């Protein structure tokens, strides 16, 4: 998810340009209600009341399988509060802070009602969480007129979310719950869904819930009318992991302060790209961060498209032009970032001529995008190669979006600092 703030433009946490409209259009089998955020009595250091029979979530001893809906974003419905209220949240490995909707809007959305939860707690300005530490200063906060901790997130597509920081639980069953987590309770947002922040930051969902492993499987996207495809999301061990292939994540210490680096992202050692069996002439160094952090390659479930730095994007475009150049839609640029687009009538021909697209990693690990899925339907009778130019986002990183994660298990093994890949039919996983 592409995040900007008035305090710091980096690190950027990337997202698809149309995330908010996409997740708004997803269909969910839930009744929608809307409630205002109500002021609750504050006790700055008083612990939340808890049920001693509840045990906290730990991936070392407990596994949860959840499902999500996939259109352009991965939208999961999670049980928040005590008793739980199901909230739609975008599963986003490129974001840190998780937040839910807490506003009263028309038409109504499935907003969270704090007054109905016995475990809800508003964080005051005096709390240490309202004074983010440097260098992990990724959550700009202020003190509002009620002396509550206020946060503001601004995203690359011009949308925003702001509200109060709170503490709340996820209740997966009557006997299984997470510890109290710091969340955003958004009172202003143009999105119908919240965000489940899954990156390496100290305020992310895995960090706060002490989760050491999670995985998800993105189904193939449907372009026509009908049911939205459903994928799977595991917290803890995945029974399919015996056949996964792993690459080690690149990690960075707090002392490595590079202006173009996101140290909280899932950075992987990408090495090259093949199109139709041809390995493109791209120096592998463009996929790794240089002294400034440019060239970092990250996995971002919150981004629809894959984005490449100019050195890589230019080679991809040259090959596309060489093979199918005359069929390109002249002068068309999707979202200001993707200019390898075609009219719908040429879709099947383009895929057949280009062949499979393969993203290469170390140890022979690959993401294979079959020729049938090389083009993405962007509406209006237009299909585009699902790759954009990242520097048109104002960034200098390579981002592997969810469009190139379809029919793949993506496992994030935090304890062992590695990412697993496993081909699958995600509609059946």
Per DSSP, the chain holds a count of helices (H) and strands (E) of: 4, 30
- 11 and 261 in contact (C-beta within 8 Å)? yes
pLDDT > 90 fraction of the chain, expressed in percent and rounded: 62
How do 176-177 and 85-92 pair as beta strands?
unpaired
Task: pLDDT band for 9, please (50, 70, 90 cuts).
Answer: very low
Domains and their CATH numbers in the chain: 64-211 (2.40.70.10), 242-422 (2.40.70.10)
Encode pLDDT of 270-326 as tens digits.
999 999 999 999 999 999 999 999 999 999 999 999 999 999 999 999 999 999 999
- Alpha carbon 421 to its chain centroid, in Å, reads 17
Q: CB-based contacts of 82: which residues, under 8 Å, 6+ apart?
A: 51, 117, 118, 119, 169, 171, 177
- 55 and 175 in contact (C-beta within 8 Å)? yes
Catalytic residue among 92, 191, 339, 413: 92
C-alpha 122/C-alpha 118 separation (Å) is 12
Catalytic residue among 191, 262, 300, 413: 300
Q: What is the pTM of this model?
A: 0.85
pLDDT of residue 61: 55
The answer to whether 92 is a known catalytic residue is yes
Q: At 101, which helix (H) or strand (E)?
A: strand 99-101
C-alpha 233/C-alpha 245 separation (Å) is 18
How do 176-177 and 149-155 pair as beta strands?
unpaired
The answer to whether 290 is a known catalytic residue is no
C-alpha 305/C-alpha 243 separation (Å) is 27
- 316 and 387 in contact (C-beta within 8 Å)? yes
């Amino acid at each position: 998810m592409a995040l900007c703030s008035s305090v710091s433009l980096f690190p950027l946490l990337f997202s698809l340009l149309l995330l908010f409209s996409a997740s708004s259009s997803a269909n969910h089998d839930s009744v929608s209600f809307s409630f205002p955020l109500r002021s609750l009595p504050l006790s700055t250091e008083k612990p939340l009341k808890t049920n001693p029979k509840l045990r906290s979530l730990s991936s070392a001893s407990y596994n949860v399988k959840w499902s999500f809906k996939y259109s352009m974003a991965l939208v999961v419905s999670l049980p928040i509060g005590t008793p739980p209220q199901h909230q739609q949240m975008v599963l986003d490995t490129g974001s840190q802070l998780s937040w839910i909707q807490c506003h009263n809007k028309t038409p109504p959305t499935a907003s969270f009602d704090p007054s109905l939860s016995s475990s809800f707690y508003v964080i005051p300005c005096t709390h240490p969480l309202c004074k983010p530490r440097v260098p992990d200063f990724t959550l700009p906060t202020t003190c509002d007129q009620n002396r509550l901790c206020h946060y503001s997130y601004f995203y690359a597509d011009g949308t925003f979310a702001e509200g109060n920081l709170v503490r709340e639980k996820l209740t997966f069953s009557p006997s299984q719950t997470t510890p109290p987590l710091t969340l955003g309770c958004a009172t202003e947002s143009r999105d119908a869904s919240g965000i489940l922040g899954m990156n390496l930051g100290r305020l992310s969902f895995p960090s706060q819930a002490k989760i050491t492993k999670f995985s998800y499987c993105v189904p193939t996207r449907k372009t026509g009318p009908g049911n939205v495809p459903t994928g799977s999301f595991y917290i803890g061990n995945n029974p399919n992991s015996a056949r996964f292939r792993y690459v080690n994540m690149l990690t960075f210490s707090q002392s490595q302060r590079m202006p173009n680096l996101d140290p909280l992202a899932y950075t992987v050692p990408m090495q090259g790209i093949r199109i139709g069996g041809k390995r493109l002439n791209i120096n592998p160094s463009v996929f790794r961060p240089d002294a400034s952090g440019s060239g970092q390659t990250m996995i971002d479930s919150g981004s629809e498209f894959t984005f490449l730095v100019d050195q890589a994007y230019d080679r991809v475009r040259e090959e596309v032009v060489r093979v199918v150049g005359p069929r390109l839609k002249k002068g068309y640029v999707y979202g200001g970032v993707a200019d390898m687009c075609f009219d719908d009538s040429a879709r099947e021909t383009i895929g057949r001529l280009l062949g499979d697209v393969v993203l290469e990693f170390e140890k022979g690990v690959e993401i294979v995008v079959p020729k049938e899925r090389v083009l993405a339907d962007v509406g209006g009778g237009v299909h585009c190669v699902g790759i954009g130019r990242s520097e048109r986002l104002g960034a200098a990183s390579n981002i592997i979006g969810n469009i190139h994660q379809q029919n793949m298990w993506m496992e994030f093994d935090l304890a062992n600092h590695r990412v697993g890949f496993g081909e699958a039919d995600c509609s059946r996983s």
